[in-house]
A and B are shown apart, each in its own frame.
Chain A
C-alpha cells in the first residue's frame, strides 16, 4: 500500500454582502487555515444611496434634514458637521448659548450610541441579557432626547447658525433626573461588561490593533483611542463650547493602567466616554449663559444670505464613532451647494479590520467587526458606475491625473 500524501492548503469563504451575522451589507473574503484567518479582503459599496446627488436640487436648510438621514444613530452629527461647514463659508457667528446647547445634544447622542453599541457587542458574543439591559437604559436617554427635541431619533434640532429649540428652566429637573438615573446605572453596566468572566474571556487579547497600525491606517474615534492614540476632535480643535469645558482624551490606561488595543479596551473606552458625556452635559447646564440660540432667526433672510455666499468650507465633528468631515462649496449663484462631500468615520475604521482579524478565529469575526461600531450606510458614498462597468481609481491612475493637472496649470 502506498502512503497517501496530503498537502495542507488554505481555503476561502465569502461572507456577505447579505448575511445573517451582518447588520448591514458588506462583503468579506476570508482566507482560512482550519479555523484561523490568514487573510481578509473587504469590499464596500452595497448601500450607496446617492445622498450627495439628492442634494443637487436642495437648499442648505433642506440639506440639514437630508444629512440627518445619512445615518439613524448619528442623526445629529451629520447635520451639525454640515452646518459647521456652511457657517465657515458664510462666516456666521454662532451665539454662545447655542454653542453649549450643541454640546448637550452631541453628548446625548454619544450616550445613546455607546449604550446601543455595548448591547450589540454583548449580543454578538451571545450575551443577550445584557442587550436588553442596555436598551432599557437607552430608552430613558431616548425619552430625554424626545423631551428636548420633539423626536426620538431624527432630532431636527440643528439650524445653520445655532439650534432650533432652547432648554428652559422647567426642563432642567427632567434632565437632572435622567442624568442621575444614567449615573446610577453606569456602575451596574460597568460591573457587567468589565468584571464578567464571559465577556473577559471573549474580548481580552482578541482583535488587537497596535498603536502603529492605528496611526498608519488613520483609524478614528474610540477605536484609535483604545489603541492609545490621543486623537479626539473635541480636544484637538476646540469647536462649540468644548474649549470652555473640562475634557481630555479617553484612553483605556485611565482605568487599567495599560493599553492593549483589544476589544476589551474598546469596551473600556466607550464606557468611560459615557461617563465623560454625562459629566460634560452637567458642566454645560452649569455654565450655559443666557442669550439668543440662533444667529439669524429669520430663515428667508438666512437663505438669501447663503445664496449670495461664494466659497468652500469644511466642518469637523467628533461623532460617537469618530471624526466626521463635511465639505461644502457654495457658488453664490444657485440655492443648492455646488458640491457636498461627506466622509463618515466608519470609512477610516474599515481598513483596521484587516490587521485586527488576521490570526483570529472565524467565531471572533462578529465581535471584532462590531468592536469598531461599523455603519455601512454612513460610509458608502461614491460608486463610479458607467455602462454597468465598475471603475476603481487606483494610486497610479490618481497620480497620472494629478500630473496631468499640473501640466494643464503650467500651460
Chain B
C-alpha cells in the first residue's frame, strides 16, 4: 500500500478541475469574464455516446398523441390542449428517456447537455417546449 500511495503523489490527479483550476472568488464575475472571452474555461469530462442529457423537442414533428405523458415516471410532461403540444419541466425530469422510446414520430431525443443547475425551478432553461 505505501509504495502505491507514494507513487500516487507524483501522478496527475484523477479529478478534472472544472470549470477552473482554483475556485473563483466570485462565480458570477468569473462567468461574465468567460462570456467576454477574457478567461478560458476548463472543459468538463466528455460525455459518452448515448448519454442522457437535456431533452430536445421537435415541436413541428409532434402529433400530440400524449403517449409520453402516460409513461413519464415523474409526471414532468404537461399537455397543452390549445395547440396540442407538450411542455417538459426539466426540474422534475429523471432523464430515463422513456418518452423518447415511446414517441411514435421520434420528436424527442436526448442531447449531451448536462449543466442544468438553476436556482429557479421554472427558469427558461429548465422548460422545454
Contacts and interface: CB of A to CB of B under 8 A. Distances in A.
The answer to whether A and B interact is yes
A164 interface: yes
Given A62-B73, A154-B94, A300 B1 contact: no
B70 interface: yes
A150 B52 contact: yes
A164 B52 CA distance: 13
A146 interface: yes
B71 A59 contact: yes
Given A59-B70, A196-B1, A65 B102 contact: no
Given A62-B72, A156-B96, A165 B50 contact: yes
Interface in A282-302: 299-300
B98 interface: yes
B122 interface: no
B124 interface: no
Contacts of A218: none
Interface in A318-342: none
B56 interface: no
B94 A58 contact: no
Given A65-B96, A130-B1, A151-B95, A146 B102 contact: no
Nearest to A195: B1
A44 to B, nearest CB: 27
A303 B51 contact: no
Contact of A164 (B1, B101, B110): B101
Looking at B49, B50, B97, B110, the one whose CB has the most chain A CB atoms below 10 A away is B50
Contact of B73 (A64, A147, A192, A299): A64
A283 B125 CA distance: 45
A66 interface: yes
A61 interface: yes
Contacts of A93: none
Looking at B50, B67, B96, the one whose CB has the most chain A CB atoms below 10 A away is B96
A166 to B, nearest CB: 11
Contacts of A139: 14
Given A150-B52, A299-B101, A299-B102, A129 B73 contact: no
A300 B102 contact: yes
Contact of B70 (A63, A136, A303): A303
A386 interface: no
Interface string A150-166: 11001010000000110
Nearest to B5: A129
Given A146-B48, A165-B50, A156 B97 contact: yes
Interface string A16-60: 000000000000000000000000000000000000000000110
A150 B102 contact: no
A61 B71 contact: yes
A129 B71 contact: no
Nearest to A64: B73
A133 interface: yes
Contacts of A58: 73
A147 B52 CA distance: 11
Given A62-B71, A151-B95, 5 more contacts: A150-B50, A156-B97, A156-B98, A192-B1, A299-B67
Q: Closest 3 CB pairs between A and B? A: A65-B73, A156-B96, A62-B73
Interface of B: 1, 4-5, 14, 48-52, 67, 70-74, 94-98, 101-102, 110
27 contacts: A58-B73, A59-B70, A59-B71, A62-B71, A62-B72, A62-B73, A65-B74, A66-B73, A129-B1, A130-B1, A133-B1, A139-B14, A147-B49, A150-B50, A150-B51, A151-B52, A151-B95, A154-B94, A156-B52, A156-B95, A156-B96, A156-B97, A196-B1, A299-B67, A299-B98, A300-B70, A300-B102
